[in-house]
Amino acid sequence: MSDLDPRSVGAAVAQRAGFLEPLILKAGKTLASYELVYETYGKLNADRSNAILVCHALSGSHHVAGFYADDPKKVGWWDNLIGPGKAIDTDRFFVIGVNNIGGCHGSTGPASIDRATGKPYGAAFPVVTVEDWVVSQARLMDRLGITKLAGAIGGSLGGMQALQWTLTFPDRIGHAFVIAAAPRLSTQNIAFNDVARQAIVSDPDFHGGNFYAHKAVPARGLKLARMLGHITYLSEDMLMEKFGRVLKRSELGFNYDVEFEIESYLRYQGDKFAQVFDANTYLLMTKALDYFDPAKESGGNLARALSAARAGFFVASFKSDWRFPPQRSRELVKALVASKKAVTYAEIDAPHGHDAFLLDDARYHQLIAAYVDNIATEIGVGDRAAPLQLAKGEIEEMSAYASERGGA
Amino acid sequence: MSDLDPRSVGAAVAQRAGFLEPLILKAGKTLASYELVYETYGKLNADRSNAILVCHALSGSHHVAGFYADDPKKVGWWDNLIGPGKAIDTDRFFVIGVNNIGGCHGSTGPASIDRATGKPYGAAFPVVTVEDWVVSQARLMDRLGITKLAGAIGGSLGGMQALQWTLTFPDRIGHAFVIAAAPRLSTQNIAFNDVARQAIVSDPDFHGGNFYAHKAVPARGLKLARMLGHITYLSEDMLMEKFGRVLKRSELGFNYDVEFEIESYLRYQGDKFAQVFDANTYLLMTKALDYFDPAKESGGNLARALSAARAGFFVASFKSDWRFPPQRSRELVKALVASKKAVTYAEIDAPHGHDAFLLDDARYHQLIAAYVDNIATEIGVGDRAAPLQLAKGEIEEMSAYASERGGA
């Protein structure tokens, strides 16, 4: 598809940046050195003011837009949003996707070789937090010569990073797009994460996190974690509409093989994910989610916690999202308003659940485009070459296809 | 508590009934013989018209009320509802609790010895359905000399059995209490069940269901299934109120040990459950849930499917129940109304989620009591000896304590 799409950024090339300056983590541990893998789309303008950083969620990566020349089907997970003439218009903006530390798509993570031992970090890889990621991302911006971001954008865990940018580096970010996120996880969110973690750590093939040395993969645990995650990314209505109670065969089997379509779908998604994703990364990402709580140091007063921010905010939620429902975004919006910040809030009536943030919904993308156009005016990078070309307003993609690509 | 409670039925004694007449199951298989374990409270009246059958849910049993003389803390799972002067008044009604076939509390199930082989059934135990249970329960009623039940009551999967009674034996049941149930599972319900099943069957200690022979227990899988189940039994608000984001220690640990109170709670509940519950029973119960769909043979027309029923219906749901939300009960109520059945419907504003059906909520119990009193009038067993003594209206018990006892 994308190689024929005139609005694609085209063939993307992953780049690497090595950092020898130690990174002191919130956990109290230090990463002596690390690498970040990233991609960029569009051109940095002369005054280096047009950069937009894309932060990924649980299973995402640096491959945000375009495709790979040697694997054209590997389209970036937010390709529907980012490209020439798209909502985030690469004709005017310089867009950066980066794989977070601890990830499993190329940046230093649990599966990387620890130079100190010559072996994979495994269980020794430290737990990293949203705050740590933002610091590491800022160092990448330094490397790219970007003093101040025009914006940072992310959905779910990615939105938390965009929000954290406004607190850790208030002078280095113009606008934060916080989409389908929450100012902190609910008890239920943490509970689901812990079931996923217990599935992984109790898999005999996990070997306490050092499964690499055993040439094993805790595929059973990772599959369960992914199956469970998937259910929470999709709305109940969407599941009912897509799969209903349809059986794979015409008759009930009266056994525990695959029987309903939804079982087949979830098991397939789980198996596929377990083949490609790193179990330690999964653990670490869920922990970063659990820990994120910017109001904690202000005794739970989110408005006070946000007072340092100087950015403008675009907050969006989706009505059918029950993982991070609109109510959670409204908490953030209310605190921003109470803290006298400039905030635009959209509650989008999309049926897909949490995954909606990854999907091609015309109303949603139009709102982002309008906000991005205001940033363009603010920083003086001109108008769109052509009017925004939105998707036809129908969402043909499977919601789950989105999860596959960018995951919550 | 209960041994001091003047409204307790007192010491309960489990009884056994053996059935040599083969039971032909919906799965096409036959159970050559089987035993049912049951308890009764109150006295069967002269014309045998005052019997109320209590059907249990996923993890429940025949021990519905009272306590055991040798283990007074082992109080029946619906003891708050059933007893002299309670909503289901054992001064006037003869109440029967029975453990379902396939269960693990004494009735013939996967862990029982198959007479044909001299070994536990294990994987050979057939998948049983709600319809099968109702037939087996009816045979127990035959044995007890009960031609027609005054009523059958159950919550969740138990409610489905009460409903099925009205369809399988329209002339043998006066009233059905269908509480916190649904006329069939949603896709999301099935999806959660399949994650639980996959957790169990992928545990290396499951041994394809024949773990008894290996002297093993798939405790990891069963723990995960229970943790996940627990989350779905409780409302998000209740979880937030009870556990919030409170940590076990004062500082974040930056590791994967227990950290938040909710993790501690869920892991503890999961571990405890895995020690006492049978994994094959868990699989079988979830499958019975998935399969229940009385409208299926009527092409999805529930009203038509219900036309055979002659019972009166008491349907209740709880606003905070997101496993079987009120909307699902309303589907049933609408179909009953369309089918011109007598139906009383209550939507109770309880905060606890699905578990509310097991809890001591005065409004809820008052509604059941009023309906039961009408049945008493109808069958001529007189008025209450004393006015209904309801709980003080506050629910002191942990919602989860309820799950422990009667489970969804």
Dump pLDDT digits (tens) for A348-382: 999 999 999 999 999 999 999 999 999 999 999 99
Task: Say whether B171 is catalytic.
Answer: no
Contact B29 A191 (CB under 8 A): no
Per-residue DSSP letter, A127? P
pLDDT tens sequence across B321-339: 999 999 999 999 999 999 9
pLDDT at position A385 is 87
Question: Can you give the pLDDT at residue A397?
Answer: 44
Q: Which residues touch A75 (CB under 8 Å, ≥6 apart)?
A: A1, A2, A66, A67, A405
Long-range contacts of B300-306 (CB under 8 A, 24+ apart): B302/B183, B302/B331, B302/B332, B302/B335, B303/B334, B303/B335, B303/B336, B303/B338, B303/B339, B304/B339, B305/B167, B305/B335, B306/B166, B306/B167, B306/B335, B306/B336, B306/B339, B306/B341
> Taking every pair of C-alpha atoms in chain A, what is the biggest distance, in angstroms?
67
Structure tokens at A17: 């940046």
Distance from CA of A251 to the nearest CA of B (A): 10
Kindly state the tokens that stand for A402: 């989105």
> pLDDT class for A388, splitting at 50, 70, 90?
confident
With CA atoms as reference, the chain A residue closest to B228 would be A195
- Minimal-distance CA residue of chain B relative to A260: B190
Amino acid A316: pLDDT: 98
A390/A206 Cα distance (integer angstroms): 45
**Which pair of structure tokens corresponds to residue A206?**
């996990």
B contact test, residue of A188, A192, A205 with most B CBs within 10 A: A188
- Of the residues A125, A194, A251, the best mutation for testing chain B's interface (the one with the most B CB atoms within 10 Å of its CB) is A194
Three state DSSP letters for A211-262: HHHHCCCCHHHHHHHHHHHHHHHCCHHHHHHHCCCCECCCCCCCCCCCCEHH
So what's the pLDDT on residue A2?
43
DSSP track, B252-263? --SSSS--BHHH
Residue B97 DSSP code = E
Distance CA B29, CA A50 (A): 69
Label residue B68 by pLDDT band (50, 70, 90).
very high
**Is the CB of residue B205 less than 8 Å from the CB of residue B214?**
yes
The closest of B161, B165, B184 to B174, measured between CA atoms, is: B165
- Please choose, from the candidates B92, B40, B57, the residue with its C-alpha nearest in 3D space to the C-alpha of residue B375: B92
If contacts are CB pairs under 8 Å, which of residues 127-186 in chain B contact chain A?
127, 184-186
CB < 8 Å from B in window 243-272 of A = 243-245, 252, 254-256, 259-260, 262-263, 266-267, 270
Alpha carbon distance B22, B5 (integer Å): 42
Chain centroid to CA B9: 20
B201 touches chain A (CB under 8 A): yes
What tens digit of pLDDT does each residue of B2-22 get? 446 789 999 999 999 999 999
Confidence of residue A386 (pLDDT cuts 50, 70, 90): confident
Helices (H), B103-172: 130-144, 157-168
Q: Which residues share a beta bridge with B23?
A: B31
Percent above pLDDT 90 for chain B = 92
Nearest residue in chain B measured CA to CA from A186? B240
What average pLDDT score do residues B294-308 get? 97
CB contact under 8 A, B231 and A191: yes
Q: What is the pLDDT of residues A240-267, one digit of tens each?
A: 999 999 999 989 999 999 999 999 999 9
Q: Over the range A291-308, which residues count as b (16 or more CB within 10 Å of their CB) and which as e? A: bbbbbeeeeeebbebbbe
Instruction: Please classify residue B205 by burial: count the beta carbons closer than 10 Å to its beta carbon, then call 0-12 exposed, 13-18 middle and 19+ buried.
Output: middle
DSSP B13-73: --EEEEE-S-EE-TTS-EES-EEEEEEEES---TTS--EEEEE--TT--S--SSBBTTBTT
Distance from CA of A46 to the nearest CA of B (A): 42
Q: Do A190 and B126 touch (CB under 8 A)?
A: no
Q: What type of residue sits at position B68?
A: Y
Residues 6+ apart with CB under 8 A from A151: A52, A53, A162, A173, A174, A175, A176, A177, A372, A375
Q: What is the pLDDT of residue B385?
A: 87
Task: Tell me which of A29, A125, A187 to substitute to probe the interface with B (most B C-beta atoms closer than 10 Å).
Answer: A187
Question: CB–CB of B236 and A188 under 8 A?
Answer: yes
Question: Would you call B156 a catalytic residue per the annotation?
Answer: yes
* Chain A CA closest to residue B242: A187
Per mean pLDDT, which range of A187-201, B64-78, B100-114, B379-393 is the poorest? B379-393
Residues of A in contact with B293 (CB under 8 A): 245
Q: Taking residues B154-179, what's their average pLDDT?
A: 98
CA distance B56 to B59: 8
Taking CB atoms and an 8 Å limit, are A187 and B244 in contact across chains?
Answer: yes
Identify the closest residue of chain A to B204 by CA–CA distance: A204
Question: What is the number of alpha carbons within 13 Å of residue B400 lying toward its C-beta?
Answer: 20
**Interchain CB contact of B239 with A (< 8 Å):** yes
- Please name which of B82, B78, B72, B2 lies closest in space to residue B41, comparing C-alpha atoms: B82
A187 touches chain B (CB under 8 A): yes
**Closest by CA position to B158, among listed B394, B330, B324:** B324
Q: Which of A355, A313, A311 is nearest to A330 (CA)?
A: A313
Contact between B260 and A201 using a beta-carbon 8 Å cutoff: no
How close B248 gets to chain A, by Cα (Å)? Answer: 14
Per-residue pLDDT at B201 exceeds 70: yes
Is the pLDDT assigned to residue A3 strictly greater than 60?
no
The candidate with the shortest Cα–Cα distance to B281, out of B78, B77, B125, is: B125
Nearest to A187 among B194, B262, B270 (CB): B262
What's the average model confidence in pLDDT over A108-128? Answer: 96
Q: Which of residues 304-343 of A touch B (CB under 8 A)?
A: none
pLDDT in tens, A305-320: 999 999 999 999 999 9
* Cβ neighbours of B254 in A, within 8 Å: 26-29, 126-127, 287
Chosen from B127, B245, B250 to mutate, greatest number of chain A CBs within 10 A: B245
Give Cα separations from A82 to A231, A303, B338 (angstroms).
27, 31, 52
Beta bridge partners of A36: A17
The gap from C-alpha B187 to its chain's centroid, in whole angstroms, comes to 21
Phi, psi of B155 (to 5 degrees): -115, 150
Rounded to a whole number of angstroms, the distance from the CA of A163 to the nearest CA of chain B is 20
Residue B353: the pLDDT is 97
* Nearest Cβ partner for B194 among A195, A197, A266: A266
* Closest chain B residue to the Cα of A184, Cα to Cα: B245
Q: Is residue A387 very low, low, confident or very high in pLDDT (cuts 50, 70, 90)?
A: confident
Average pLDDT across chain A, whole number: 94
A positions 17-76 inside 8 Å of B (CB): 26-29
Residues B303 and B332 sit within 8 Å (Cβ to Cβ) = no
Mean pLDDT of B278-284: 98
pLDDT band at B386, cuts 50/70/90? confident
Tell whether the torsion through CA atoms of A166, A169, A170 and A176 is positive or negative: negative
By the CB < 8 Å criterion, does B291 face chain A? yes
Measured in angstroms, the CA of B237 and the nearest CA of chain A are apart by 9
Q: Out of B89, B132, B278, B321, which one is annotated catalytic? A: B321
Amino acid at position B190, single letter: I
Residue positions counted in chain A: 408
Distance between CA atoms of B76 and B79, rounded to whole angstroms?
Answer: 5
Mark yes or no for CB contact B254/A126 under 8 Å: yes
Q: Is B224 on the interface with A (CB under 8 A)?
A: yes
**The pLDDT value given to residue B394:** 45
Taking 3-state DSSP, the helix, strand and coil percentages for chain B, each rounded to the nearest 5, stand at 40, 15, 45
CB B336 within 8 A of CB B315: yes
> Å from B43 to nearest chain A CA?
39
Helix (H, G, I), strand (E, B) or coil at A360: coil
Q: B156, B317, B320, B403: which one is catalytic?
A: B156
| CA pair distance A24, A32, nearest whole angstrom | 8
For residue A358 the two structure tokens come to 């990854």
Say yes or no for a CB contact (<8 Å) between B199 and A266: no
Q: Which tokens in the block code for residue A279?
A: 């179990």
Residue B399, pLDDT > 60, answer no
Average pLDDT along chain B: 94
Å between B255 CA and nearest CA of chain A: 7
Q: What integer is the mean pLDDT of B89-115?
A: 97
Q: What is the dihedral of CA B227, A317, A92, A394, to 10 degrees?
A: 90
**Predicted local confidence at residue B28, as pLDDT:** 96
Chain B residues with CB inside 8 Å of A24's CB?
none
Region of B36 please: left (phi>0), alpha (psi -120 to 50) or beta: beta
| CB proximity list for B71: less than 8 A, separation 6 or greater | none
CB A99 within 8 A of CB A16: no
> Quick count: other Cβ atoms within 10 Å of Cβ B33?
14
Lowest-confidence range among A55-69, A191-205, B389-403?
A: B389-403
